[in-house]
Structure 1
């Protein structure tokens, strides 16, 4: 039996409320976005692992929207494991998100169907 494509597996985990990324069993290389081979080593022994969920804002910008809707933060977060992903930082005003801010992952309902990974400040309740 063949395994489903990596992107389907990623979204299946999210649908069940789990944030999972891939790691090579032989090299230890962490991989995000889901794929068949590790991009640096070419390793094909990728397994699904739950990351710590902690990271640091690597880059950020604000998408300004027409009031009364709040502005939206768009950020690149570097996970403690190494991979970077594009996401949103929530629980604070979009303009307060800063490069270097420590954040933690959270799986939430997306704007469309399905769940997405967002981040909130590490010390948020």
Structure 2
């Protein structure tokens, strides 16, 4: 019997679609981009065609700082997928951006025992060998 080690290329990858492409192209440019409603001013994440607050279609993309704080988190001590086995323990978090929206991410460059709700974090643009860029966060030390 033979076994093969999972490769980074075996990790699940995002599949951008029309409405999400500006977000992903922003990450490739090392920018965090969010939609904002021109009618009610609400910041919107995840990307969509209509504002969830007022149902307007007047959504435009804006580059934001990406600064955030940890809203909640968990520490995965078992890999959620075989290709992530070398990344445990993995700190999975929901961060709240300064603009208000929350997003799910992975915290990097942090001791899991030092993570707490309210921890200030900054964006990390994690580019893999295939050119895919994921938005991670690290403590703002």
* Contact map agreement 1:19 1:107 (CA 8 A) in 2: no
- Runs (4 or more) in structure 1 with deviation over 4 Å come to 66-69, 110-113
1:115 matched to 2:128? The reply is: no
Alpha-carbon distance between aligned partners in 1 of 2:57 and 2:138, rounded to the nearest angstrom: 33
Deviations along 1:62-93, one digit per CA (max 9) or x if unpaired, are 01037875410000001111100000111112
Residue equivalent to 2:74? 61
Cα separation, partners in 2 of 1:104 and 1:70, compared to 1, 3 Å = same
Q: Which runs of 5+ in 1 are unaligned?
A: none
Structure 2: any 5+ residue segments left out of the alignment? Answer: 1-16, 80-84
Taking structure 2 as the reference length, what is the TM-score of the superposition?
0.75
Is the Cα contact below 8 Å between 2:39 and 2:58 reproduced in 1? yes
Q: Is the 8 A contact 2:119 2:139 kept in 1?
A: yes
What's the counterpart of residue 93 of structure 1? 111
Which entry has the higher C-alpha Rg, 1 or 2? 2
The residue that corresponds to 2:31 in the other structure is 18
Q: What SS is found at the alignment partner of 2:121?
A: strand
Q: TM-score, normalised by structure 1?
A: 0.84
Distance 2:70 2:114 in 1: 12
